Amino acid sequence: MLTERHLEIFIALAEEEHFGAAAQRVGITQPPLSQGLRRLETLLGVRLFDRDRGVCLTEEGTQLLPHARRALAALVELRETGAREQADGTRLRLGLAPEVPTTLAADAAAAPVRAGERTRIGMVTAPTTALLSDVVAGRLDIAVIRHPSVLHGLAAGRVILLPTWILAPAERGETRDAPTSPLPVAVRPRAEAPAAHDLFIDTLASRGRRVETVVVSDERAALALVAAGQAVLVTADDALAAPGVERRTATDPPLPLRLRVTWDPRRPGADETARTAQLLEDALTGKVTP
């Protein structure tokens, strides 16, 4: 994958025409600079420098140089703009687990704006493991994840329990006992939230029988299986419905959707981020009104 570092190495070497000077300019030693250049040439499938005549650009390198300069300048500008927006509180980069119901996700995202905390919201939906990685890497400010999860040193709010419902084919007459019916339970891939997935399965199995599961990409795919009489689904989305699908409250055993709001306390502005996280928590628990 082409990275900003590749561009920095290529441009520095093209302008300095000396490996040692280029390495000093980008803040690394000469061996990793040479390795970076080789990776870039392998990635592009061309030679960028003629080493037989010192450090001279090849024809392909000459063609690439103006494009590389523009690309690097754009990346630097994008990063600096994001840093300014984060510093002055004009932007919140929010991530939500896909299990968060749509209407509740919208209400949570709007809560900081209604409170005057931020002016712009950038929101993504991704699996819990991806959200955690993005918060650690600084690509997200706050994430709403499934609980339990390994937090990797991140701060997290209280555990939020959302009620769930069991959806099952109405004609089977098995909705009350859906977690222990012969039909498999539709679940998202375990890798998206391993600990939360295992807790859910263990809770289903607490009645003493083996739980069969079928992996789905999202709840729409799960609903299709339910409507086709091939699975049951436990969901926190009170609006999810289809003809021929029956809904009942999932209370025996209790099957709440467990969520937590998480952020990185080591980053600048962590106190402000924690206050924004509290607004999200309040919205998720119904304490924020329009």
The better pLDDT of the pair 32, 155 is held by 155
In the sheet that holds 245-249, the strands lie side by side as 233-235, 165-169, 245-249
Residue 88 confidence (pLDDT) above 60: no
Q: Taking Cα atoms as reference points, which of 112, 156, 162 lies closest to residue 131?
A: 156
> Distance from first CA to last CA of the chain, Å, rounded?
44
Confidence bin at 290 (pLDDT 50/70/90) = very low
Q: Please tell me whether residue 259 adopts helix, strand or coil conformation.
A: strand
| DSSP per-residue codes, 247-288 | EEE-BTTB-PEEEEEEE-TTSTTHHHHHHHHHHHHHHHTT--
Other residues' Cβ atoms within 10 Å of the Cβ of residue 192 = 19
For residues 11-19, average pLDDT: 91
> What is the residue-averaged pLDDT of the chain?
87
- Please provide residue 123's backbone torsions phi and psi, each rounded to the nearest 5 degrees: -120, 140
Confidence bin at 149 (pLDDT 50/70/90) = very high
Check if the beta carbon of residue 169 is closer than 8 Å to that of residue 241: no
**Could you give the domains of the chain?**
4-85 (1.10.10.10), 89-160+258-284 (3.40.190.10), 164-255 (3.40.190.10)
Q: How do residues 231-266 score in pLDDT, each as one tens digit?
A: 999 999 999 999 999 998 877 778 899 999 999 999
* DSSP letter, residue 232: B
Q: How do residues 46-71 score in pLDDT, each as one tens digit?
A: 999 987 767 899 999 999 999 999 99
* DSSP letter, residue 125: E
H-helix or E-strand spanning residue 50: strand 49-50
Q: How far is CA 182 from each of CA 45, 175, 204, 225, rounded to the nearest angstrom?
A: 55, 11, 13, 14
Other residues' Cβ atoms within 10 Å of the Cβ of residue 102 = 14
pLDDT at 289: 42
pTM listed for this prediction: 0.68
